Structure 1
Amino acid sequence: MGNTDIFDMMANGYDTSERIQIAKIASDAIREYLIDTNSKKAIDFGCGTGLVGMNLLKDFDSILFLDTSQNMIDQIRQKFIEFNIKNADILCFDFEKESLLNLHADYIFMAQVLLHINDVELVLSRLYDALNAGGHLIIVDFDKNEEVVSDIVHNGFNQAELMELMTKIGFKEIQSKNFYTGSKIFMNQDASLFILDSQK
């Protein structure tokens, strides 16, 4: 995944009050799309320090926290110890480099992760493969924002175009909506977040 080296450097100071607040808003939005998940397994894909997934631990039987940054994963390991978390696991892995054939989940969620991925179609296809039949992929990310100019991230996504790509991959029952607008939350620009729910 893109920008792993940057996230390795940011890991120790990543949990700012702003990031914690946005993660709470994102996890509350994701929770609205969860159906009978107490016995289900989930993957927090591109989890960072686990801010979103930690908020959802009680909603699932278990969550696998997956990220390409070893330093981010180390932060989560410390949280597992500190909060005595038992129904979770961690994995440092890059889906852009290879797929994990033995990895399966009922729900995969990714919050502000897609904008860091170079080959969006490849990764979404591999996540599709990792879902159990009837499983859900839930994406939280920024709307396309022409004010954002960057060499290291996408400048957000057009929801209709993303839904079209996901339909091509095989996802169905795709729905998306905006749920939050904030000041200077995307590369120091005002931006809106959307949530997209899809099913295998």
Structure 2
Amino acid sequence: MKNNPKWYYEEKQSGVDYLDPEIAQEYDNEHQKFRNFEAEVEQIVQMLGITPDDTVLDFGCGTGGITLNLAKYSRKVIGVDISREMLDVLREKAEEQEIKNIETHCAGFLSYNHDASDKVDKIISMFALHHLPDFWKSVALLKMAEILKTGGKLYLFDLIFTFNIDEHQKSISDIINGMHDAAGDSMARETGTHIKDEFSTYDWIMEGLLEKSGFFVDYKYVEADNFVGYVCTKL
């Protein structure tokens, strides 16, 4: 793929600064308070029908909680993240665990370059697309559709709003309080920063973006009111 025009959105670290090496190192500890990466991957493998012959691309792979576990079920996993510091953690863990079927790229959704002749079977993106404003989400999704084989699967999971706008203050307070109960003060503060500085959107907007970008939404599920997952097929 050729380089993007100069007027393209400049992907940068909004919200919590995962470019900070100390924060990158603590990512796993913080997220394991409310996540089980192995169980998440088992569910993803089942939902997407991932096989040992598949190449899977993980956009926003972070420190590799999902990527490293996916490597057990697929031929190759490509991990893409804008934070070199988080990718350093991923590579350290891969070396410790002797996992060799992982390829990493320091790039964002919009800046990642993929060989157009080598389409992938599955794409996963968890807790990452909210870093882009809605228009640029659609550009990123279009790019994912171009990278995927026809009939390939996309799994998207993120903080996506399902409440009515007139209930936004109570609903967002409930989200932050729920995170506090599940994972403590630091993750509650991080959630508040997410709401203030990042770009989570409504479910009906996200579904429109997916459909306009070349995907069919096979099904959607909602966890804890506003954590939403989509399984989609590339048309």
TM range (shorter): 0.7 to 0.9
How far, CA to CA, are the matches of 2:90 and 2:198 in structure 1? 24
Q: Give deviations 1:75-109, integer Å, cap 9, x for gaps.
A: 11101110100111111112324643446311110
| Change beyond 3 A, Cα 1:117–1:2 | farther
Q: Which residue is 1:197 aligned to? A: 231
Instruction: Structure 2: state its 5+ residue gaps.
Output: 1-10, 173-191
Which has more radius of gyration?
2
| Change beyond 3 A, Cα 1:157–1:177 | farther
TM-superposed deviation, 1:23: 4.8
Code of the residue aligned with 2:121 in structure 1: it is D
The secondary structure found in structure 2 opposite 1:84 is coil
* TM-score, normalised by the number of residues in structure 2: 0.71
* TM-score, normalised by the number of residues in structure 1: 0.83
**Of the candidates 90, 93, 117, which is equivalent to residue 132 of structure 2?**
117
Code of the residue aligned with 1:8 in structure 2: it is L
Structure with greater contact order relative to length (CA < 8 Å, sep ≥ 6): 2
How far, CA to CA, are the matches of 2:154 and 2:198 in structure 1? 21
Contact 1:11 1:71 in 2 (8 A): yes
Q: Which residue is 2:47 aligned to? A: 33
Percent identical: 23
TM-superposed deviation, 1:173: 4.5
Q: Which consecutive segments of 4 or more residues in structure 1 shift more than 2 A? A: 17-21, 23-29, 94-104, 148-152, 156-161
**CA-atom RMSD, angstroms?**
2.4
How far, CA to CA, are the matches of 1:56 and 1:11 in structure 2? 20
Say how many residue pairs are matched: 189
**Of the candidates 83, 91, 103, which is equivalent to residue 97 of structure 2?**
83
How far, CA to CA, are the matches of 2:12 and 2:30 in structure 1? 24
| Change beyond 3 A, Cα 1:152–1:99 | farther
Contact 1:38 1:60 in 2 (8 A): yes
More strand by share: 1
Matched, 1:174 2:211: no
Instruction: Structure 1: state its 5+ residue gaps.
Output: 182-190
Code of the residue aligned with 2:151 in structure 1: it is G
The 5 Å alignment of 1:23-172 reads 23-24=36-37, 26-97=40-111, 99-102=113-116, 104-118=119-133, 119-144=136-161, 146=168, 147=172, 150-154=195-199, 156-172=200-216
